[in-house]
Structure 1
Amino acid sequence: MIFPDRLRQLREESGLSQRQLADRAGLSLTMIRFYEYGKSGPPGYSLFHLADALHVSMDYLYGRTDRRDVD
């Protein structure tokens, strides 16, 4: 499970709580918890907002590449 681990790692590196990430990405705290615990995968719009809030590409966040930068 790459996505849940990467999401948590990036959130912690950014110094954000789950609540702060939820607010920054415009998502609910419940959804952030589901994503981090691997209970649910994000739909495209959530992935976009999470990647934007964490300043990484969607491909990196979802584990499709090891490059963090946004093209």
Structure 2
Amino acid sequence: MLGERIKLLRKDQGITQDQLAEYINVSRSSINGYENGGVEPSLSVLVKIADVFNVSLDYLLGRTEEKHNFNLLDKYTKEFLFKIHELVNNYKIIKK
């Protein structure tokens, strides 16, 4: 699950394994290992990967399908922020 998520996020962002490796200061072969399940990243590397893709660790580890964890008590505010996030992402797609 973790490797699949990393690969999916990387491809969605148009980032190569080399670029991701450079962003988080590991080797390309480490990224390949994470994606193929042969190597488990350390917690500090997981945090860096989550930061690069702006997703929660729970999403990255397959514990939830919700990419972003706003940790809000007010469900209306949370729904509002999700709608804004969706609009921004749609705008980026149209702008490309």
- TM score, norm. by length of structure 2: 0.68
Shift, 1:57, TM fit:
0.9
Q: TM-score when scaled to structure 1? A: 0.90
Q: Percent identity?
A: 36
Listed as ranges, the gaps of 5+ residues in structure 2 are 71-96
Query: Counterpart in 1 of 2:66?
Result: 67
> Which protein is bigger by CA-based radius of gyration?
2
Partner of 1:66: helix, strand, or coil?
A: coil
Structure having the larger proportion of residues in helix = 2
Instruction: Give the CA RMSD over aligned residues.
Output: 1.0
Alpha-carbon shift at residue 55 of structure 1 (Å): 1.2
**Aligned position for 1:11:** 10
Q: Does 1:51 align with 2:34?
A: no
The corresponding residue for 2:30 is 31
Structure 1: runs of 5 or more not aligned: none
How many residues align structurally?
A: 70
For 2:6, give the aligned amino acid.
Answer: L
Measure, in 1, the Cα distance between the counterparts of 2:62 and 2:39: 15
Q: What stretches of structure 1 move > 3 A for 4+ residues in a row?
A: none
- Counterpart-to-counterpart distance in 2, 1:29 and 1:48: 17
